[in-house]
Amino acid sequence: MASERVTDAPEEGYERGLGSRQVQMIAIGGAIGVGLFLGAGANIAKAGPSLILMYALAGVIIFFIMRALGELLLYRPVSGSFAEYSREFLGPFFGYFTGWTYWLMWVVTGMAELTAAAIYVNYWFPSIPQWVTALVFLVILFGVNLISVKLFGELEFWFSMVKVTALIGMIVIGLGVLTFGFSSAGDTAAVSNLWAFDGFFPKGIGSSLMTLQGVMFAYLAVELVGVTAGESENPEKTLPKAINTLPWRIALFYVGALTVILCVVKWTEFAPGVSPFVEAFAQIGIPAGAAIVNFVVLTAALSSCNSGMYSTGRMLRNLAESGEAPKVFTKLSSTKTPALGIFVSVCFMGIGVVLNYVVPEKAFGYVTSIATAAGIWTWLMILISHVLYRRAVEAGRLPASSFPAPGGAKCSYVAIAFLLFVTGIIAYDADARVCLYVMAGWAVALGIGWMVLKARNPQIAERRTAEFEKVG
HSE at residue 95, side-chain half, CA atoms within 13 A, is: 27
Q: Is residue 295 a part of any domain in this protein?
A: yes
Mark out the alpha helices in 181-252 (DSSP H runs): 205-210, 212-218, 224-227, 235-244, 246-249
Nearest to 361 by CA among 257, 452, 273: 273
Most confident of 1-10, 311-320, 355-364: 311-320
What domain range is 194 assigned to? 2-461
Q: What is the pLDDT of residues 166-195, one digit of tens each?
A: 888 888 988 888 888 777 776 778 889 899
Q: Which residue has the higher pLDDT, 362 or 118?
A: 118
- DSSP conformational letter for 201: S
- DSSP conformational letter for 406: T
pLDDT of residue 419: 96
3-state SS assignment for residue 71? helix
Q: Is residue 249 a part of any domain in this protein?
A: yes
Q: Is residue 86 a part of any domain in this protein?
A: yes
Q: Is residue 12 a part of any domain in this protein?
A: yes
pLDDT of residue 410: 95
Residues 185/283, Cβ–Cβ less than 8 Å: yes
Cα–Cα distances in angstroms (integers) from residue 29 to residues 16, 74, 256, 307, 439, in the given order: 20, 22, 16, 10, 27
pLDDT category, 302, cuts 50, 70, 90? confident
Q: Is residue 466 a part of any domain in this protein?
A: no
**Rounded distance between C-alpha atoms, residue 68 and residue 70, angstroms:** 5
Q: Is residue 106 a part of any domain in this protein?
A: yes
pLDDT of residue 24: 66
Where is 127: in which H helix or E strand?
none
Q: Is residue 468 a part of any domain in this protein?
A: no
Q: Is residue 89 a part of any domain in this protein?
A: yes
**Rounded distance between C-alpha atoms, residue 225 and residue 29, angstroms:** 10
- How much is the pTM? 0.85
Output the domain CATH number for residue 69: 1.20.1740.10
pLDDT of residue 120: 81
Taking residues 77-83, report their average pLDDT: 72
Q: What is the pLDDT of residues 359-369, one digit of tens each?
A: 666 666 667 77
Domain count, the chain: 1
Q: Is the pLDDT of residue 230 over 60?
A: no
Q: What is the pLDDT of residues 89-117, one digit of tens each?
A: 999 999 999 999 988 888 888 887 787 78
Q: Which residue has the higher pLDDT, 470 or 292?
A: 292
Q: What is the pLDDT of residues 7-63, one digit of tens each?
A: 344 445 555 556 666 666 766 666 676 667 767 888 888 899 999 999 999 999 999
Nearest to 26 by CA among 165, 142, 220, 159: 159
